[in-house]
Amino acid sequence: MTKHAAFLDRDGTLVRDPGYLARASDVALLPGAGEAIRRLNESGVRVIVVTNQSGIGRGYYSEADFKSVQAEIDRQLKTEGARIDATYFCPHDPTLHKCECRKPGLELYRRAEHEQGVQTAGSWFVGDRAHDVSPAEALGGHGLLVAGPDGTFDEPVPAGSERVEDLASAVDRILGSVTPRGRPFQVAVLVSGSGSNLQALIDRFSDPAVLPRVEICLVISSRPDNRALERAKAAGIPTAVVPDDEGSEEWMTERLEACGAQLVVLAGYMRLIPRGLVAAWSGRMLNVHPALLPAFGGKGMYGQRVHEAVLESGTQVTGVTVHLVDEEYDQGPVVAQWSVPVVEGDDADALAARVLKVEHRLLPSVVAAVAEGTCLLGPDGARWIEPLASGEDRLREIT
């Protein structure tokens, strides 16, 4: 069963909207729409159109006219090697008939979920009107609001949705969170020191039978002589060392793009990420920090310094934070946190060892959740579709 789908609006998103599109001769795919749909098809994402067609209820055209238009859309898409997997429409005149199938009602999405074998939770809702994407919040999905023909956006942008330029940009966003069929989810890891968190990732994802399938495609180190590089080479993972010059941002950008990374993970990386790189990987770059941010974070707060500060403060609880990377040390939106008790008699070494055990569990679990689509990352934070912790492992989820 395909787990997730892209629920697309039709008029103004997939095809030009002349107002009550009634004739097949008027059908015109928007620029780039065919290629965008083909990319979704090739990546295994189900493409389901959900459209309001009140023109039927108002008597402007018939259901047969609608089907003729849809057949022409299918024909034009086929010439570009693309297809729509299913189409659902509401024919009602909203001035006469109050129904749950007219967007933003949820009936058609629920029907598609049942009939098409998909889950609305974790799926994407794409359209040029707020009512096209607002169902995402109620159904646990992610809304992508595309611009109209004049480049402006429908307002207000529904909670949990983000703006994208067009359908092609929406597909870029979707495929940044989806692994193409047959290919593991690609992760690049940035390191500086011993690489124990890198090893935790290697251990978690080295077995190809373990789902979700995740592959560490590259390890980049800020130093040429550390244990992390040895761990990567022992596992057969390509490695690279950041050059000590002003071209490091361009160098890193080229290598991350070349390796096909879908997610970048900082696992003990000690340098500040260049602003341009942060912008390019916004919503796709994670860091793990050995405290409950925003406490005990910021410039200079790393390694034993964090644990010494925790003990000096007298707090009874510390923990681990996985967060999105922004332009400042430890300032990005929190994705997940796990609390760790401070025990009487702890010194910095004892506390560090206890925290590290949690780092080794939390970081791989978050990466796995991103890879399987149960944690959706975006520039402004993360949305959890399914709980990450079970049993007595109490994970505090931050939305």
Domains and CATH numbers, the chain: 5-175 (3.40.50.1000), 185-397 (3.40.50.170)
Rounded to two decimals, the pTM is 0.64
Q: For residue 28, what pLDDT is reported?
A: 97
Which residues of the chain register pLDDT less than 50?
Answer: 1-2, 390-399
Task: Quick: pLDDT tens for 326-352.
Answer: 989 889 999 999 999 999 999 999 999
Q: For residue 255, what pLDDT is reported?
A: 92
3-state secondary structure the chain: CCCCEEEECCECCCECCCCCCCCHHHCCECCCHHHHHHHHHHCCCEEEEEEECHHHHCCCCCHHHHHHHHHHHHHHHHHCCCCCCEEEEECCCCCCCCCCCCCCCCHHHHHHHHHHCCCCCCCEEEECCHHHHCHHHHHCCEEEEECCCCCCCCCCCCCCEEEECCHHHHHHHHHCCCCCCCCCEEEEEEECCCCHHHHHHHHHHCCCCCCCCEEEEEEEECCCCCHHHHHHHHCCCCEEECCCCCCHHHHHHHHHHHCCCCEEEECCCCCCCCHHHHHHCCCCEEEEECCCCCCCCCCCCCCHHHHHHHHHHCCCEEEEEEEECCCCCCCCCEEEEEEEECCCCCCHHHHHHHHHHHHHHHHHHHHHHHHHCCEEEECCEEEECCCCCCCCCCEEECC
- Provide, rounded to the nearest whole percent, the portion of the chain with pLDDT above 90: 70
Q: For residue 390, what pLDDT is reported?
A: 41
Task: Quick: pLDDT tens for 281-300.
Answer: 989 999 999 999 999 999 89
Show which residues are catalytic.
289
Q: For residue 372, what pLDDT is reported?
A: 83
Q: How far apart are CA 148 and CA 50, in angstroms?
A: 18
Q: For residue 207, what pLDDT is reported?
A: 82
Q: For residue 197, what pLDDT is reported?
A: 97
Q: For residue 73, what pLDDT is reported?
A: 97
Q: For residue 378, what pLDDT is reported?
A: 82
